[in-house]
Amino acid sequence: MDRPGGYPARVSSTEQTPAETSSSASRPARVTAAAVVAALEALALFAGGAYLLVTSLTGRPDDLTQALTGGATLLALGLIPLLAARGLLRCRSWSRGPAIITQLMALPVAWTLLQASSAAIPGGIALAVAAVAGLVLLVHPQTTEALGIRPRA
């Protein structure tokens, strides 16, 4: 519906387009699963950042500045998979890129954890499984189709 002068009519914030009302119904389970993987990775980054910040403030780190910077960096990095998860749940095509980058960045971290001879090995296994599962989910044709990403011609 156009208003006089050729300007489109404004849509109130309470009105929703058909795509917005049926996004969860039309969203494949693979996209939802990829969003869950990204959200869990964001949660892990936030937990790690908070842990580093708390232990650096309550303990005696070798270098306080480095410990605080590491914690703040993990908190900031947690925003990437969190935003990607939100975008995936809303079937936004832009969200696939940050989600894939997060999974690719997780693989070397998982490898490093797997090389440790400590309790970090189960964490490395979990991270590797999550990263590979996330990549498989994100590159699946059903996911790319649901996100509106067309194959190159």
Per-residue pLDDT of the chain (153 residues; tens, 9 = 90+): 555 555 555 544 444 444 444 456 688 999 999 999 999 999 999 999 999 999 888 888 888 888 899 999 999 999 999 999 999 999 999 999 999 999 999 999 999 999 987 888 999 999 999 999 999 999 999 899 999 888 776
What is the per-residue pLDDT for 36? 96
What is the per-residue pLDDT for 23? 53
Of the candidates 46, 37, 38, 102, the residue with the CA atom closest to the CA atom of residue 74: 46
What is the per-residue pLDDT for 67? 86
Question: At a CB cut-off of 8 Å and minimum separation 6, what does 59 contact?
Answer: none
What secondary structure letter does DSSP report for 8? B
